[in-house]
């Protein structure tokens, strides 16, 4: 990953993004492969939530998030440690000293990142360090939403950056990495202001506003963390989460039957005229079962389905072409 | 198996999220088994079931959501041949509430109430349903 980002650094932002996109896609796929492990984690988390109080719940969330993060980067070990260090004390208001310690540890991490960004020709190590820290914070909102959202984050990110974020425009001319890093630092100076700006410019961008009725109660309360001295990176993390989580709303991301992510093939697969979408796997299972569309309960027609499959192949290439154009456009 | 588990976890999260949206339904998952759920359903107002709280035990098959969840004796088409994998435990509960508000005399579980309704004895049906509600779904007095 480090070498990756360094090669990226020499390329302008627009071209470095496809790479990032591909990277995220890859990560998403491997995340799917880890589904089995994740399930076990979730179950563990579930029982934790049931058995214990609020704090444990938050910790459980962190663990679960860690699990989903796992395949994403090699630097994870470091970043998650940093993360849980700074997070768990912040959730327990009764231990101010430990929270100070926790924030200190995150503080060193962030100064590391700022050091890295102050010089545009920064070393690979500090680059990835800041990246990992930032990304980890970006997952604060909901680990699963992030996993769901990874597929097409980048185009949104590109769209929202120049419009909603004046300070980022100037950074946008930097390489992708420098831009990210730079924003992480930038935020530590005018941080409240900036976060507000982001939120104002993209009002729907949060997956869940704090007062949103749909916001899962199990999510940790971010306002607590805002009150900490070392909150700049974290707040930016919320902003980062904004870009990531926006995807969840805009794209139908998962199969309504099995709740797995829809990949490109799945999302261009339209087996029934009623418009009910599902993944190919579930569609096959239903054909083996009673063969009725879950949306309208009409029988799936076998022959047209086959025709659809070949048609589907065509639309896949179309989709790919479109995603290419998305990348080149910005 | 894997699919049903993932789906049930998703539903669990959905239930947590929509707790406030559906105050008449309380869906609780067994602590140790995601395939066992308990639903507490309030009898809809302006029906003989008003004031009662009905407890349902859902047993979810491993083929879920291709197969409907199993529960007690409820004559409800969506729990049988009209099941669709797009339904959820929550929507099943909503359908049960709808069934309580609009009984189906042509497909009764309880033949007596079906006969009363079909013969036009709405009062008879209501008082019988109220009696059963009081017997089975209300806290015992004294």
- What is the value of ipTM here, to two decimals? 0.74
Q: Which of A57, A257, A291 to mutate to test the interface with B (most CBs of B within 10 A)?
A: A257
Q: Which of residues 96-155 of A touch B (CB under 8 A)?
A: 144
Q: Which among A50-54, A165-169, A204-208, A265-269 has the top mean pLDDT?
A: A265-269
Is residue A291 within 8 angstroms of chain B, CB to CB? no
The average pLDDT across A108-130 equals 39
Dump pLDDT digits (tens) for A15-42. 445 555 555 556 666 655 556 566 766 6
Q: Which of residues 48-87 of A touch B (CB under 8 A)?
A: 50-51
CB neighbours of A314 closer than 8 A, spacing ≥ 6?
A: none
pLDDT reading at A98 higher than 80: no
Q: Please name the member of B3, B17, B29 whose beta carbon is closest to the beta carbon of A216.
A: B17
Q: Please name the member of B5, B29, B66 whose beta carbon is closest to the beta carbon of A39.
A: B5
Strand-pair partners of B53: B42
**Chain B residues near residue A61 by CB distance under 8 angstroms:** none
pLDDT higher for A144 or A276? A276
Could you identify the residue written with the tokens 């794209």? Answer: A251
Q: Do B3 and A295 touch (CB under 8 A)?
A: no
Q: Is residue A276 within 8 Å of residue A233, measured between CB atoms?
A: no
CA distances from A204 to A140, A164, A200, A208, A242 (A): 17, 12, 9, 9, 9
Q: Please name the member of B2, B29, B85 whose beta carbon is closest to the beta carbon of A286.
A: B85
Q: Count CB atoms within 10 A of the CB of residue A293.
A: 22
Q: Do B18 and A214 touch (CB under 8 A)?
A: yes
Torsion sign across C-alpha atoms A130, A99, A232, A247 = positive
Q: Which of A266, A294, A296, A300 to mutate to test the interface with B (most CBs of B within 10 A)?
A: A294
Q: The tokens of A49 are what?
A: 């939530």
Dump pLDDT digits (tens) for A167-203. 444 443 444 444 444 444 444 444 444 444 444 444 4
Adjacency order of strands within the sheet including B36-42? B25-29, B36-42, B53-59
Q: Residue A121, class by beta-carbon neighbours within 10 Å (0-12 exposed, 13-18 middle, 19+ buried)?
A: exposed
Name the pLDDT band for A289 (thresholds 50, 70, 90).
confident
In Å, how far from its chain's centre is CA B94?
A: 7
Torsion sign across C-alpha atoms B70, A289, A285, A306 = negative
pTM beyond 0.90, yes or no: no
Q: Do B86 and A285 touch (CB under 8 A)?
A: no
**Chain A residues near residue B17 by CB distance under 8 angstroms:** 214-217
Residues A46 and A40: their CA atoms lie apart, in Å, by 10
Residue B83 has what DSSP assignment?
Answer: -
Q: Count CB atoms within 10 A of the CB of residue A69.
A: 22
Residues A224 and A92: their CA atoms lie apart, in Å, by 9
Task: Determine if the peptide bond prior to B65 is cis (ω within 30°).
Answer: yes
Contacts A–B by Cβ distance under 8 A: 67
Q: Do B19 and A217 touch (CB under 8 A)?
A: yes
Domains and CATH numbers, chain B: 1-137 (3.10.110.10)
Q: Which among A66-70, A149-153, A276-280, A324-328 has the top mean pLDDT?
A: A276-280
Q: Do A256 and B86 touch (CB under 8 A)?
A: yes
Q: Per-residue b/e over A173-212, b at no fewer than 16 CB within 10 Å?
A: ebbbbbbbbbbbbbbbeebeebbebbbeebeebbbbeeee
**Chain B residues near residue A256 by CB distance under 8 angstroms:** 85-86
Q: Do B12 and A46 touch (CB under 8 A)?
A: yes
**Chain A residues near residue B32 by CB distance under 8 angstroms:** 47
Q: Please name which of A283, A275, A290 lies closest in space to residue A309, comparing C-alpha atoms.
A: A283
SS3 A192: helix
pLDDT reading at B79 higher than 80: yes
CA distances from A99 to A61, A94, A104, A107, A188 (A): 19, 9, 8, 12, 19
Is residue B61 within 8 angstroms of chain A, CB to CB? no
B93 is an active site residue: no
Average pLDDT, chain A: 52
**Chain B residues near residue A50 by CB distance under 8 angstroms:** 31
In A139-279, which residue ranges form alpha helices assigned H by DSSP?
143-149, 153-164, 166-172, 176-186, 191-201, 222-226, 232-250, 264-267
- Angle made by CA atoms A42, A48, A52, in degrees to the nearest 5: 155
Residues A114 and A174: their CA atoms lie apart, in Å, by 15
């Amino acid at each position: 990953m480090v070498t990756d980002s360094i090669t990226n650094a020499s390329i302008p932002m627009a071209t470095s993004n496809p790479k990032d996109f591909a990277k995220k896609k890859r990560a998403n796929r491997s995340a799917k492969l880890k589904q089995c492990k994740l399930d076990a984690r979730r179950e563990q988390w579930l029982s934790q939530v049931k058995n214990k109080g609020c704090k444990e719940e938050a910790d459980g969330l962190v663990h679960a998030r860690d699990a989903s993060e796992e395949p994403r980067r090699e630097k994870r070990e470091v970043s998650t440690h940093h993360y849980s260090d700074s997070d768990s004390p912040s959730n327990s208001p009764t231990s101010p000293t430990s929270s100070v310690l926790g924030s200190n540890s995150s503080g060193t991490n962030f100064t590391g990142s700022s050091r890295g960004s102050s010089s545009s020709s920064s070393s690979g190590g500090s680059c990835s360090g800041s990246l990992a820290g930032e990304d980890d914070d970006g997952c604060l909102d909901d680990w699963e939403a992030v996993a769901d959202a990874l597929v097409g984050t980048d185009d949104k990110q590109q769209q929202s950056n120049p419009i909603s974020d004046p300070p980022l425009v100037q950074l946008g001319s930097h390489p992708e990495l420098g831009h990210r890093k730079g924003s992480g630092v930038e935020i530590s100076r005018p941080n409240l202001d900036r976060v507000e700006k982001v939120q104002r410019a993209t009002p729907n961008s949060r997956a869940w506003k704090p007062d949103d009725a749909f916001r899962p109660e199990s999510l940790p309360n971010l306002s607590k963390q805002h009150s900490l001295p070392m909150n700049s990176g974290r707040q930016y993390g919320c902003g980062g989460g904004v870009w990531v989580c926006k995807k969840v709303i805009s794209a139908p991301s998962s199969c309504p039957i099995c709740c797995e992510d829809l990949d490109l093939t799945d999302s261009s697969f339209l087996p029934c005229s009623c418009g009910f979408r599902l993944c190919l796997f579930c569609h096959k299972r239903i054909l083996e079962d009673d063969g009725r569309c879950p949306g309208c309960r009409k029988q799936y027609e076998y022959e047209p389905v086959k025709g659809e499959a070949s048609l589907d192949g065509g639309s896949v290439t179309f989709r790919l072409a479109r995603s290419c154009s998305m990348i080149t456009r910005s | 198996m894997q699919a049903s588990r993932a789906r049930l976890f998703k539903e669990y999260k959905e239930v947590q999220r929509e707790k406030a949206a559906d105050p008449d339904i309380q869906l609780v998952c067994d602590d140790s088994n995601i395939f066992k759920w308990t639903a507490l359903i309030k009898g809809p107002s302006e029906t003989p079931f008003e004031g009662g709280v009905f407890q349902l035990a859902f047993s979810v098959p491993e083929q879920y959501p291709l197969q409907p969840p199993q529960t007690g004796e409820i004559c409800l088409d969506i729990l049988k041949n009209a099941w669709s994998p797009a339904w959820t435990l929550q929507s099943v509960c909503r359908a049960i509430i709808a069934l309580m508000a609009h009984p189906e005399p042509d497909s009764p579980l309880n033949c007596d109430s079906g006969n009363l309704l079909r013969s036009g004895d709405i009062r008879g049906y209501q008082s019988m349903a109220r009696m059963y509600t009081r017997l089975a779904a209300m806290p015992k007095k004294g």
